[in-house]
Amino acid sequence: MNNSDDIIIEVKNLKKYFPVKNKFMGGEKKFVKAMDGVSFEIKRGETFGLVGESGCGKSTLGRTITKLYDATEGDIFFEGTNIAKFNRKQMKEYHRNMQIIFQDPYSSLNPYMNVEELINEPLSLHTSLSKKAKLEKIQHLLEMVGLKKDDMEKFSHEFSGGQCQRIGIARAISTEPDFILCDEPISALDVSIQAQVVNMLEDLQEKMGLTYLFVAHDLSMVRHISDRIGVMYLGNIVEISKSNDLYKNPLHPYTKALLSSIPIADPIRAKASVRQIIKGDIPSPMDIPSGCRFHTRCPYVKPICREIPPQNKEVENGHFVACHLY
């Protein structure tokens, strides 16, 4: 059991349902169960990677933890305080310590504000620095993310996607937060730029003692940056493990299939490898299957899988899996 001082975020039975009005059923309200009973924790100073197919609930989980979305049910402990039911006013002091780097660097930056104004905004909201001190800090932040102080008067349309993401990162670290949600921060960037941004995030983490929740679909990049990884499927986390352990010894059938889809550069190894294909379509989050959510696509399905939801259990040291096979 970890010391509670080592845990920065603990999530218990977290749910987020989005209401959908069904016009064909007499207006009966149904719900998209984007996240349905998620429990896990993030250790201080680590990068926790979160992977899964599109629509599995990864971004919803991150945005619910940071209170962009209100939770339908469950608890979110941030540095020991349950913030799940906090309103906007109560969250103000916590937002200084919880920042977000968004997926699209262009849409996340106000096009009518120059770089100085963009980075000054969180500083004005969350700090009491003087005008001179804020200016000096903005210049220092730009240097930290590989930009120049001469860029302060420019607007986002004058930068490349990679440079805009650097501005977004400068905004996120401006308040010296403890925790940053990285919501697919490199997926909109050119491949040649992605590694630069990831390396910079690692450098900033080391310098500032940051903790990341890194949401992504690039499995190779997640392995590179993450200390531990959680695998999501249809609103649930089905496996959690240290990064290297997960890639060397995946336990859940979904994880095995997901990792087997990673392209292998070596043609000889690629030819020898066996790719595990997931059959069928992912079920609708409005109509969740009974029992294990993956049983409709699992090649190892047993009768119990169709009836009883598996509990997340520790199979090896720090390696958790929700599967009746273990």
The DSSP annotation for 124-147 comes to HHH----HHHHHHHHHHHHHHTT-
How is the chain split among helix, strand and coil, in percent rounded to 5?
A: 35, 25, 40
User: What is the distance between the alpha carbons of residues 281 and 55, in angstroms, rounded to a whole number?
Assistant: 12
User: What is the distance between the alpha carbons of residues 146 and 297, in angstroms, rounded to a whole number?
Assistant: 46
pLDDT for the residue numbered 1: 36
Q: What is the mean pLDDT of each run of 10 residues along the chain (326 residues)?
A: 72 95 69 94 97 92 96 96 92 91 90 96 91 96 95 95 95 96 92 92 96 91 94 96 95 92 59 67 89 94 95 93 95
Give the list of residues 6+ apart from residue 74 with CB closer than 8 angstroms, or none.
Answer: 11, 12, 13, 14, 15, 37, 38, 84
Q: What is the dihedral of CA 116, 165, 71, 306, to 10 degrees?
A: 180
* CB atoms inside a 10 Å sphere around CB 203: 12
Q: Which of 2.40.50.140, 3.30.420.10, 2.60.40.10, 3.40.50.300 is the CATH number of 4-97+177-321?
A: 3.40.50.300
Answering whether pTM is above 0.85, one says yes
User: What is the distance between the alpha carbons of residues 31 and 34, in angstroms, rounded to a whole number?
Assistant: 9
The two tokens of residue 80 are 């020991």
Domain boundaries, given as residue ranges, for the chain: 4-97+177-321, 113-176
3-class DSSP state of 94: helix
User: What is the distance between the alpha carbons of residues 38 and 143, in angstroms, rounded to a whole number?
Assistant: 38
pLDDT for the residue numbered 106: 86
pLDDT for the residue numbered 221: 86
* CB atoms inside a 10 Å sphere around CB 83: 19
